[in-house]
Chain A
Amino acid sequence: MRHVDDAQLVAYADDALGPEERVDVEAHLATCAECRARIDEERALAGRAAALLGASVPEAEPAMPSFAEILRRSEEANATSPGGAPARRWSVPPLAWAAMLVVGFGAAVIARTLLVSPEFNAPAGVRSEMAEDAAAPRTLAVPSDATDAAAETQRFDAEAANARAEVPGTHGAIGTVPPPPMPAPAAAPQAEARTLSAVAETTVAKAAEPRAGEPADLRRRAQDAPQVEPSRPRERYPDMVRDPDARPADAARAAAAPPPVPAAAAVSPATAPGSVALGSTEIAWRGESAAEASARGTVVWGIPGAPVSSVWLAVEDADWRARVVQDAGDVSVEIIEWRRSPGVTGERGTVGDGRNFVVVERDGVMFLLRAALPIERLEALGAELVPLR
């Protein structure tokens, strides 16, 4: 029996379904005790959450000004600032503006004279070395495949977004599976690389900036910082990036990518693959090759003999534990291992993007397989699952 999927079930419990969908769900509920129990559970959960939300605000009713008062203020806002710009723009007399400009300019000239030169604050012994450093040509190594790195960052971010979007509910969001990541548009890598180079330059400038009272060796280290070749994402975060060898398609994409932008490229932790602003309550994941996962002592399941594209591991509180993407012929198959049941063994169907899915059990572990393959083929692959070593 095909059960109501999670999205529909919650929407039904929230009374947010359209009339037709509602009739369909009710027809199913009439014959399915399991789904009725899930509805009751959802309603209880919604009631509990609503009570907590109610408890989070002060009990006092907010003071509400009259509508006439709000209307008056809106008219006032338009009258004083027709274009929506602040009305107090010219409240400072023009003479005061002029005085401020003169003072500001003077301060800037003095600051430039005294503070901008790195030698100003350095001890005498360091000054000559810094002068030598400054005289030496300072070039930043440009990774020949900066564009490739940027493109990979984009693809990885897109997959991160997909991974975050598909964090499932207790029964799994089978119906809400996002489509597979799309390759970045041709112009995007260049733009990304330029952004990254801007980040690199800012970082370099900050690193080179001397600070008063800083020990000489620290200052020298700051001076040396730009000389270090900015590393590519996979070098800085070796355990967070897919094994490039496991994705032959990457080479083709890199070959088709525009030529590298002649600028330094560095990736800040905030933009590095695998660290794309994942909050502590969001799902955390990383991609790695099966060999890497195995080396960590993580056993993942997959189809024997099929090349592994990537392995994704979830944190403890996620419903799924691991997602392995493998190539079966010319299609990718996802094998998702669950902590809790994603459905009923033997459940099958089609997800939003047209791919089919099946739920299988192997050695007491539930797996969801999905791919653009016939269901019978998916079931056959599900029967072949083994721990990958």
Chain B
Amino acid sequence: MRRNERAGRPRKGRTLSADWEAVYTATFGDLVRYLYRKVWDPERAQELAQETFVRVLAQERRGEGGRVENPRALVFTVAANLARDEARTVIRRKKHLALLKSDTEAAGAATPDPNEEMQRDEERQRAQEALRRLSDRDREVLLLWDAGLSYEEIAAQTGLAQGAIGTTLSRARRRLVAAYESMEGRHAAR
């Protein structure tokens, strides 16, 4: 029996079942964007993305869950659960308003043309609102596809039949564009 096990300590140096560094490097940006569209808070999205990897790696090191066949899909599953918990437990505390303000300020510092930046900011707000108007299922499928998951992975994560992913995606895209354009039309009419 190993010393750590005798002492009841975790097996600290357990070999990881995948090249998690490569997964981390390739996935982190997509994961932050995916989480951002769930919590609408850039800082929180980054924290949750880090927390996702911490949890996945901790679980890996404990040897739970067996060999990971698809590390990327596992990461997004854990992230979706974290985002769901976040939505359940955290009151947003009007963070959205602060977010819009900070987005404008942060981007404004880097862009010389304030008019252009204002227009971009309006577009971003409209795109976010259009995304919010989708049903949960449409939005989830769209975000997972945008994060780079395959039809098979999306089906596994959402519980939809793989054959239904294409039509769901198509409908989600159509509704997203329609919602955006309806807002754009209203904006232009003002």
Contact = CB atoms under 8 A, between A and B. Distances in A.
Contact of B166 (A14, A55, A79): A14
Contacts, number: 156
B1 interface: no
A42 B135 CA distance: 20
Interface stretch (A4-12, A140-148, A218-226, A341-349): A4-12
A12 B131 CA distance: 24
B108 to A, nearest CB: 11
Contacts of A78: 10, 12, 58, 61-62
Max count, chain B CB within 10 A of own CB: residue among A79, A165, A281: A281
Nearest to B133: A281
B177 to A, nearest CB: 5
Contacts of B128: 56
A62 B28 contact: yes
Interface in A44-84: 45-46, 48-50, 52-53, 55-65, 67, 70-71, 73-75, 77-79, 82, 84
A53 B75 CA distance: 21
Contacts of A57: 33, 36-37, 124
B54 A52 contact: no
Nearest to A81: B58
A282 interface: yes
A332 B4 CA distance: 66
B49 A52 contact: no
Contacts of A16: 150-151, 165-166
Given A16-B150, A52-B127, A62-B46, A70 B163 contact: no
A66 to B, nearest CB: 9
B29 A61 contact: yes
Contact of A67 (B24, B29, B56, B146): B24
A199 B71 CA distance: 41
B135 A279 contact: yes
Nearest to B111: A59
A67 B138 CA distance: 33
Contacts of B67: none
B28 A42 contact: no
A167 interface: yes
B58 to A, nearest CB: 4
Given A45-B174, A82-B10, A6 B54 contact: no
Contact of B58 (A7, A8, A74): A74
A50 to B, nearest CB: 7
Max count, chain A CB within 10 A of own CB: residue among B57, B142, B170: B170
Nearest to A16: B151
B12 A10 contact: no
Contacts of A11: 151, 165-166
Interface in B143-174: 143, 145-146, 150-151, 161, 163-167, 169-174
Contact of A168 (B61, B62, B167): B167
A8 B134 CA distance: 23
B21 interface: yes
B10 to A, nearest CB: 4
A53 B146 contact: yes
A318 to B, nearest CB: 11
A58 B61 CA distance: 34
Nearest to B161: A176
Nearest to A167: B171
Interface residues of A, number: 51
B170 A42 contact: yes
Given A7-B166, A49-B173, A169-B170, A55 B123 contact: yes
Contact of B28 (A50, A64, A71, A79): A64
Contact of B49 (A42, A60, A62, A352): A62
B135 A281 contact: yes
A105 B160 CA distance: 49
Nearest to B136: A279
Contacts of A50: 146
A184 to B, nearest CB: 20
Contact of A60 (B54, B106, B165, B166): B106
A70 B173 contact: no
A173 interface: yes
A230 interface: no
A175 interface: yes
A33 B62 CA distance: 56
Interface string B44-73: 011001100111111111100000000000
5 contacts: A45-B170, A56-B37, A57-B36, A62-B49, A65-B50
Interface of A: 6-11, 14, 16, 42, 45-46, 48-50, 52-53, 55-65, 67, 70-71, 73-75, 77-79, 82, 84, 165, 167-170, 173, 175-176, 279-282, 352
Interface of B: 8-10, 12, 20-21, 24-25, 28-29, 32-33, 36-37, 42, 45-46, 49-50, 53-62, 103, 106-107, 120, 123-124, 127-128, 130-131, 133-136, 138, 142-143, 145-146, 150-151, 161, 163-167, 169-177, 180
